[in-house]
Homo-oligomer: A and B are copies of this chain.
Amino acid sequence: MIKSFASDNWAGACPEVMQALIDANQGHSPAYGDDPHTTEAKQEFKKVFGQNAEVYFVYNGTAANIITLASNSQSFNSIICSSHAHINVDECGAGEKFAGTKLLDLPNTDGKLTPELILPHVKADRYPHQSVPGIISITQATELGTLYTVSEIKAIADLAHKYNLILHVDGARISNAAVALNCTMKEMITDTGVDVLSFGGTKNGLMFGEAVVFLKPELAKYFELYRKQGMQLASKMRFISAQFIAFLRNGVWEKNARHANEMAQYLGSKMAAIPEIKISQKIETNGIWAIIPKPLAEKMQKAQFFYPWEESKDEYRIMTAFDTSKEEIDQFIKAILD
């Protein structure tokens, strides 16, 4: 049985999710979301995010992000985001293609935007020559494993709303963030004023499926039509919904994320103790960024595979998942030190 530190999406489905899929596979159920599982899953989301939350399911994270952005922008808009944002560097131009918008990516070193970084860009100076900012998109936890605090999110939401912008959160690893911040989803997202959230499932134990959570229901007005036109309307939707029910109920999301985060701390502390290794980003969730001399890195990759992050800097990314075990980590460290 292969294991790795390559990515949390190399893991499979967690047991509770797999069982939910088995259980949901009974008889017929209305297609395209008109089924009881989907109704129930939406209720579970309301319990987590509040009664205003309007929830829709898609197949993957890229779609959650892009269809949300497209359905809430005009093509002349720009989307303000971090230069490291998944929408900027890992979606092959899906945003530009499907929304027609410019991505206004702001350079930074820790994956985080700040009001100071954003402020000079909230308004288009030269109407109608410049794309008009429409949405701010931040990622929580960031693509560098770092975190926005609750008050940092609130500050960006306030700025967004002051300038009539929408705040979108790419939450591919939102569960890891909530656990790390020791707060509820509602405190982190609903109460800070986030307008819409891509709620990640696949990286935290789902087989497939992500949710889009609108905290301002009026922003969901066109979502279903853009989702269909965006090729993301699942016919047998109950199989996404059933996973989310299992995920939200009984705290599976939290259990999985907490475990992955703890394993990152555990592995990170072991790695930090190795003199040749330099941890390069604060370990806040389930990823470790580290500068590792090439020979050592190759030895480590032979023990358990993981990806280089920025090769020119000898920087690597090591990810833990809901199913990473202490034993694996111990064996991995042992292999390194041999």
Chain A interfacial positions (CB closer than 8 Å to B): 1-4, 6-7, 9-13, 18, 21-22, 24-31, 59-63, 66-67, 70, 74-78, 89-94, 96-98, 100-103, 107, 120, 126-132, 202-203, 207-208, 222, 224-236, 238-239, 312, 321, 323
| Cβ contacts A to B, 20 pairs, < 8 Å | A7-B235, A9-B31, A10-B30, A11-B28, A12-B25, A12-B27, A12-B29, A12-B238, A18-B22, A18-B25, A59-B59, A75-B97, A76-B226, A92-B130, A92-B225, A92-B229, A96-B103, A127-B224, A129-B228, A208-B234
Q: Quick check: A76 and B235 within 8 Å, CB to CB?
A: no
When C-beta atoms are compared, the residue in chain B nearest to A64 turns out to be B231
User: Closest approach, in angstroms, between the C-beta of A195 and any C-beta of chain B?
Assistant: 19
* Chain A interface helix/strand/loop/mixed: loop
User: Closest approach, in angstroms, between the C-beta of A12 and any C-beta of chain B?
Assistant: 4
Q: Quick check: B11 and A94 within 8 Å, CB to CB?
A: no
User: Closest approach, in angstroms, between the C-beta of A319 and any C-beta of chain B?
Assistant: 11
Bound complex: CA A233 to CA B202 (Å): 13
Q: Quick check: B92 and A76 within 8 Å, CB to CB?
A: yes
Known interface pairs A96-B96, A96-B100, A229-B76. Does A90 touch B129 (Cβ–Cβ under 8 Å)? Answer: yes
Bound complex: CA A60 to CA B57 (Å): 14
Identical chains in the assembly: 4
Known interface pairs A6-B31, A100-B97, A127-B224. Does A231 touch B233 (Cβ–Cβ under 8 Å)? Answer: no
User: Closest approach, in angstroms, between the C-beta of A307 and any C-beta of chain B?
Assistant: 9
Bound complex: CA A278 to CA B96 (Å): 39
Q: Quick check: A60 and B233 within 8 Å, CB to CB?
A: yes
Q: Quick check: A222 and B76 within 8 Å, CB to CB?
A: yes
Please tell me which one of the listed residues B78, B232, B323 contacts residue A231 in the complex, with CB atoms under 8 A apart: B232
Q: Quick check: B4 and A28 within 8 Å, CB to CB?
A: yes
